[in-house]
Amino acid sequence: MVRDPAQDLALLRRFEPVIRYVHGELFLPMSVADYVADSRLVARDGQQVRVLAERGSLTLDGLAELGLSEADHNLSLEHVEAALNRREYRAWRRRPEREKFRASSRFAAVSLPSRLIDVGLRLTLLLRGRVPGGFAAAAHEAYVRSEHYQQPHYYAHVTCDGGYTILQYWYFYAMNDWRSTFGGVNDHESDWEQVTIYLVPEEVVATETAALRPAWVAYSSHDEVGADLRRRWDDPDLSRVGEHPVVFAGAGSHSGSYLQGEYLITSELPLPAWLSRVSAIFKGDGAGLLRIPYIDYKRGDGATVGEGGDLAWTPVLVEDTTPWVRNYSGLWGLDTEDPFGGERAPAGLRYNRNGTLRASWERPVAWAALDMLAPTAAEAHDEIVSIRDRLVTRLAESEQRLSERRDVLRGAHAAEMALGIPSNHPGRQVVELDHEVAETRRQVAELTSLLEGAERSLERPAPVQSPHAHLRHRALPLGQDQLVQGRALRVWTALSASLGLLILGILMLVGLASTQAILWLGGAMIVIEALLRRRLVPLLLGAGVVVVAAFGIWAIVSIVLGHLGQGVGVLLIIGALYMGLSTLREATR
């Protein structure tokens, strides 16, 4: 179907999202034409780097031509010419127009082991390609010099799939500075994010051209996949300004969320591919031990782009045939060749880094796990009617086959009896026929059950489900009890892992790293953390329960080994303590 660009643009403007950023965000969605014009294009073949187009010479049309002619090479755009040096970086940080950002302690929401693992991740940055220091500052300087600075753009793609009309809003950022500016997991030059709105026809339409209404919205997000990406249009999690959904963008990461707040994001510890496959075997049993915590700030207290906000959108329609979208499959920023991928620039809105098509672009309905849902109740009804009719036909065929195979079975059994073969030791042919009849009966029973379900759903509409019924994981911001309140706890959670490793290293250096010393060190750190979190009493109670349980196990083992008096005596003491505590609790009620 040939789409009308004017109608598509009207739909896009009607539902275009409102994005609320964090106070201190450096990068807003920009013009890709501006970015390309101030970038150079390089081809990497091993250690060899060829410059295909210098800065100032490249356009979107030129990018499309080179992307097609050099498609066999590893292409990447490089926007930042050089990272700022130490002096330039300090001057950039002191600029009065820069918004100041106040961070929460990501470590306060997680345990000490997670903080120790984080040290390992920081060390891996020394061993792999990464975005250098001062790079984000240089990217910001280039961004504010761009021709359409303070004119946020989105690149809109309208398509139809599975009965849905799909509006995709793609946002391009010059930099993802989550790590360097906001303490996140990674930095990479350029960033693509998206919001997708799924429209369906109105149930009752008086005109020939069906009016459309929004049914679902999906935001690209860190830890969410499939159905967890989307929310129903009537979901209370979804804020709207009129018909415009509100997105709370992550500071530096630009990942979208429905609820305002601070989110604990966990990232897999970077591992080689073979070790990742091994760890995947244990996903259900503690794979979280290999995950590192970060906070994604989505406070929405900074600039707002869109309806009623500080800045208005500049929309640009793109199609699957738009030359720069289709022909350029390289990276949109510096290729650090990071083996774990986190510090490499992304590919474009149509492609993954390996050149395959993005699922969200190629299969937007499947990307949000909407294939199983009919767009409207009328279509769902028609599909159930169609399924019922097919089931009726299949059931009649199965019943006919059952009747025929049962007749054959009875004839074969009668023939064996005539030959003197006893019924309790039938021949091979009768056994096979009996199995075939049993399997056909099972199919008839299954089809009958499905048919009853289809007819029941036609007689009685399915109950309206909760807006969250489809979610396996509902992303929620951290509560106030999970955020750092006191300065002492902030300092402790930031330094405790490093301090523990330092003391352990000193103990090993001077030859005092005995098992007893390590246990004392670990215990002291646990007690300090409990004190700062005001959880010392629960810690002591928990330790007491562990000690009592250990004595109970020791008593049982003693009885089994023949030390009856010793074991029974310990059990009696444990029983007396339990009875005493229970009596005291009742007396103080």
- Which tens digit of pLDDT belongs to each residue from 286-326? 334 455 667 889 999 999 999 999 999 999 999 999 999 99
* Residue 155 phi, psi dihedral angles, 5° rounding: -115, 115
- Asked if 525 and 112 count as a contact pair (C-beta separation under 8 A), the reply is yes
Q: How many angstroms separate the CA atoms of 153 and 360, rounded?
A: 20
Chain centroid to Cα 185, Å, comes to 14
Mean pLDDT of the 381-401 span:
89
Q: How many angstroms separate the CA atoms of 191 and 82, rounded?
A: 19
User: pLDDT tens digit string along 493-507?
Assistant: 666 666 777 777 787
Q: Percentage of the chain surpassing pLDDT 70?
A: 81
- CA dihedral for 490, 493, 498, 500, sign (positive or negative): positive
Residue 410 tokens read as: 């009875």
86-93 helix and 135-144 helix, angle to the nearest 10 degrees: 60
List C-alpha distances in Å: 402 to 397, 441, 551. 9, 7, 65
SS3 521: helix
SS3 151: coil
304-316: buried (b, 16+ CB within 10 Å) or exposed (e) per residue? Answer: bbbbebeeebeee
The residue that leads in pLDDT, 338 or 6, is 6
The residue that leads in pLDDT, 417 or 232, is 232
pLDDT-derived band at 516 (thresholds 50, 70, 90) equals: confident
The residue that leads in pLDDT, 196 or 290, is 196
Which of 82, 70, 79, 68 has its CA nearest to residue 31?
79
Q: Residue 551: its pLDDT value, please?
A: 80
- Residue 287: DSSP 8-state: G
Mean pLDDT of the 461-473 span:
83
- Asked if 304 and 273 count as a contact pair (C-beta separation under 8 A), the reply is no
Residue 350 tokens read as: 């149509």
The residue that leads in pLDDT, 567 or 304, is 304
Q: How many angstroms separate the CA atoms of 102 and 211, rounded?
A: 46
User: pLDDT tens digit string along 139-160?
Assistant: 999 999 999 999 999 999 999 9
Q: Residue 206: its pLDDT value, please?
A: 44
Q: Which residues, in sequence order, are bridge partners of residue 213? A: 200
Domain parsing of the chain, residue ranges = 5-30+99-325+345-367, 377-459, 483-587
Q: Residue 106: its pLDDT value, please?
A: 55
Look over the chain and give the mean of its residue pLDDT values, rounded to a whole number: 83
Q: Residue 180: its pLDDT value, please?
A: 86
Q: Residue 329: its pLDDT value, please?
A: 96
- Residue 16: DSSP 8-state: -
CA angle 186, 70, 75 (to 5 degrees): 10
User: pLDDT tens digit string along 37-67?
Assistant: 999 999 988 778 899 999 999 999 999 999 9
Residue 392: pLDDT above 70?
Answer: yes
pLDDT-derived band at 436 (thresholds 50, 70, 90) equals: very high
Tracing tokens 């065929």 back to the chain, one arrives at 397
User: pLDDT tens digit string along 255-267?
Assistant: 999 999 988 776 6
Chain centroid to Cα 427, Å, comes to 58
Q: Residue 282: its pLDDT value, please?
A: 45
536-560 helix and 564-587 helix, angle to the nearest 10 degrees: 150
- Asked if 33 and 77 count as a contact pair (C-beta separation under 8 A), the reply is no
Whether the pTM exceeds 0.85: the reply is no
HSE at residue 407, side-chain half, CA atoms within 13 A, is 5
Please report, as a single letter, which amino acid is at residue 566. Answer: Q
Mean pLDDT of the 329-350 span:
87
- Residue 464: DSSP 8-state: P
487-509 helix and 515-532 helix, angle to the nearest 10 degrees: 170
Of 229-243, 310-324, 416-430, minimum mean pLDDT range: 416-430
Residue 530: pLDDT above 80?
Answer: no
Residue 562: pLDDT above 60?
Answer: yes
- Asked if 118 and 497 count as a contact pair (C-beta separation under 8 A), the reply is yes
Give whichever of 46-50, 124-128, 208-212, 445-449 has the largest mean pLDDT. Answer: 445-449
- Asked if 43 and 21 count as a contact pair (C-beta separation under 8 A), the reply is no
Cβ neighbours of residue 249 under 8 Å, at least 6 residues apart?
A: 19, 20, 21, 22, 25, 193, 255, 256, 298
Residue 243 tokens read as: 């018909």
- Residue 350: DSSP 8-state: S
HSE at residue 129, side-chain half, CA atoms within 13 A, is 14
Q: Percentage of the chain surpassing pLDDT 90?
A: 46
pLDDT-derived band at 273 (thresholds 50, 70, 90) equals: low
Give whichever of 40-49, 313-322, 340-349, 530-539 has the largest mean pLDDT. Answer: 313-322
Q: How many angstroms separate the CA atoms of 496 and 531, rounded?
A: 14
Mean pLDDT of the 335-349 span:
83
pLDDT-derived band at 396 (thresholds 50, 70, 90) equals: very high
Q: Residue 283: its pLDDT value, please?
A: 45
Q: Residue 546: its pLDDT value, please?
A: 75
